[in-house]
Structure 1
């Protein structure tokens, strides 16, 4: 079990598999490319990718000419990133303490990270510390209360979505991006929302996870969770599954 995250090696490997699948979803590459554009990447631009996971964004940033460093608190995650991309710079560090010098990077990127933080204000204070004056910050993530799922039982679906959200440290961080950035002193804040629509079986593990989370919290019964999962599997098999997942993209400039 890692010291900072509480993940076992098995759970981290499972998370890596989920992240790899997410990276391959329709629109995922385009969303990452948008984040690089919002960072205003030019050859030589230095960027910290916070919560870098297995490192794909770090590699893509490097391909654009950036001097990118990936940081993640999970030792196993960093080990996998180093194995996959041995020429890139990966370091073990968390969002509250990046281990980088003051005013040392031009860009800060955090993708699907802030919903895992109980103190987003603290992370943004650290972002301000490491960014140069006028540096760019980009945050990407989903709001855990805004999963739109078609179901024969909308009331149960609503209960499942909200119960799973309540298991997340910052489930509504994405809707707070603008105000969090403004309150942290960033300027020129912009917000975009890009909604992915999924109708096939690729998102069944995510839907199953929502129901399992709601069941583990005691909010729904085992029978309710199983029935809901069975319905979603049947929908996927009949080409009737529907999930809409809004992704929030915020960008801002560090005070100069």
Structure 2
């Protein structure tokens, strides 16, 4: 039997999530977005940096290549195992965003990508980030607004239903709208917000669209027939290079005062 991880996911479910994250890591502009996050962190040689919710560890490896003492933490043991296998030189630890394994003021950088939407209390995570950052340390949060998948379809009403129903399954689907205020409330300064939009026109993103539709169907928002018809249309568009998916990612950065 497939055992549950510490996150409540089975290892098979975690592996499916890793496949989706891998797709996202290879979207047009994804590499540039990660590089921008490292620039906003102001990574310097030997700086101590954490990647919270590190997943399969790519960002940790890339920050280490830039000279940082980067550590990845994740609350899913399967993620930590995969990260260690992919990046054996990296440092990875099992921990969650509410209780990081670092002393007060021990870090110069805190990064979290596609993480805060799964938290039930993002404000608590921001306060924990402030605790582990030294004065002058930088925080960078990257995330999507789950209500703003922009998808071309012959049935826009059904598409809206799918997007919003899938968003409602997420703990904090619109946290990026609050991220600036969360940082200000926690006493951070120099808060900035940027948006970087990934656009896909081919079948690469079909697994992501399938996940959206599957979630809407599981929530009872659409029928099996609607699921099949909508996804069939998106697959056909992808095969012809006529798919259109635009996904804005918001980058919120600040300095620990």
**Shorter-chain TM-score category?**
over 0.9
Confirm or deny: 8 A CA contact 2:23 2:205 kept in the other structure.
no
C-alpha displacement of 1:155: 0.6
Corresponding residue for 2:8?
Answer: 6
Equivalence for 1:185: 187
- 1:86: which partner in 2? 88
8 Å contact 2:27–2:198 — kept in the other structure?
A: no
Contact 2:27 2:200 in 1 (8 A): no
CA offset digits 1:128-166 (Å, max 9, x no partner): 110001110000011000111010010110010000000
8 Å contact 2:217–2:224 — kept in the other structure? yes
Please, which moves more after superposition, 167-176 or 81-90?
81-90
Equivalent-residue separation in structure 2 for 1:14 and 1:215 (angstroms): 18
Structure 1 unaligned residues grouped into runs of 5+: none
Measure, in 1, the Cα distance between the counterparts of 2:163 and 2:80: 31
Deviation at 1:2, TM superposition (A): 4.3
The alignment covers a number of residue pairs equal to: 255
Give CA-to-partner distance per residue, 1:93-129, whole Å, 9 cap, x none: 0001112111100000000001111100010011011
Residue of structure 1 aligned with 2:209, choices 203, 207, 210:
207
CA contact (8 A) 1:12 1:76 kept: yes
Q: Describe the SS at the equivalent of 2:178.
A: helix
Q: Which residue of 2 aligns with 1:147?
A: 149
TM superposition shift of 1:4: 2.5
Normalised to the residue count of structure 2, the TM-score between the two structures is: 0.97
Change (3 A) 1:168 1:210: same
Q: Report the counterpart of residue 47 of structure 1 in structure 2.
A: 49
Q: Give the secondary structure class of the aligned counterpart of 2:100.
A: coil
Alignment of 1:104-143 (within 5 A): 104-143=106-145
Q: 2:39 aligns with which of 37, 40, 55?
A: 37
Q: Which runs of 5+ in 2 are unaligned?
A: none
* Aligned twin of 1:243: 245
**After the TM superposition, which parts of structure 1 deviate over 4 Å for at least 4 consecutive aligned residues?**
none
Give the TM-score normalised by the residue count of structure 1. Answer: 0.97
Whether the 8 Å contact between 1:2 and 1:74 is mirrored in structure 2 is: no
Q: Deviations over 1:51-85 (max 9, x none)?
A: 00111100100000000110000001101111222
Q: Secondary structure of the residue that 1:49 maps to in structure 2?
A: strand
Contact 2:49 2:68 in 1 (8 A): yes
Deviates more, 1:233-242 or 1:72-81: 233-242
Name the structure 1 match of 2:105.
103
C-alpha distance in 2, partners of 1:155/1:119? 32
Shift of 1:237: 1.8
Tell me how far apart the structure 2 counterparts of residues 99 and 58 of structure 1 sit (CA, whole Å): 16
- Secondary structure at the aligned position of 2:243 is classed as coil
